């Protein structure tokens, strides 16, 4: 467990940041009065997610690896964080659906149907807690590993070699 202390810490940080983003979306009306703009603005979370992975891998490199991190070590650490985020995702969805934004699914269904984007049945099939839990449990680790692959490439730091 101590071996993955940094990854667990950053997995939890990522989940907290995600919940704060959900709260921000709700407070700005993206889950209600401005739901028509939700599909656009929710994508800005990608920048925050990337930043969290950058901070996480920098932390891993400096704290656990004495400033020397290979691409493989960075990718492995990022993948572990991604798995932790994937495991925590259902809990994040539950917190969002029941505490942060309990009317989101109802509002999204109503908006989709009223604007001819989906039929009632399709909207109900898509905008529900079960579907969001499934999506986040798959999407979070996949995107996390992809992000980790890119971030690890830029943050790798090989040990200095001494020349005689």
Q: Each residue of 98-119: pLDDT tens digit?
A: 999 999 999 999 999 999 999 9
Q: What was the pLDDT predicted at 107? A: 98
Neighbours of 150 (CB within 10 A): 14
Q: pTM of the entire structure?
A: 0.91
Largest CA distance in the chain: 74
CA 10, CA 16: separation in Å to the nearest integer? 10
Q: Each residue of 52-100: pLDDT tens digit?
A: 999 999 999 999 999 999 999 999 999 999 999 999 999 999 999 999 9
Give residues with Cβ within 8 angstroms of 123, minimum separation 6.
Answer: 108, 109, 112, 113, 117
């Amino acid at each position: 467990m101590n071996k993955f202390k940094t990854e667990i810490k950053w997995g939890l940080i990522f989940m907290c940041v995600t919940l704060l983003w959900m709260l921000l979306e709700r407070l700005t009306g993206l889950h209600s009065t401005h739901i028509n703009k939700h599909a656009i603005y929710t994508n800005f979370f990608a920048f925050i997610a990337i930043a969290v992975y950058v901070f996480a891998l920098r932390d891993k490199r400096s704290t656990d690896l004495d400033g020397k991190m290979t691409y493989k070590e960075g990718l492995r650490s990022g993948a572990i964080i991604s798995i932790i985020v994937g495991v925590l995702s259902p809990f994040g969805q539950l917190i969002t659906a029941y505490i942060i934004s309990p009317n989101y699914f109802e509002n999204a269904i109503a908006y989709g149907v009223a604007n001819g984007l989906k039929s009632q049945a399709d909207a109900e099939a898509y905008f529900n807690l079960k579907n969001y839990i499934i999506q986040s449990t798959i999407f979070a680790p996949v995107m996390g590993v992809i992000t980790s692959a890119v971030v690890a490439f830029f943050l790798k730091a090989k040990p200095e070699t001494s020349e005689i």
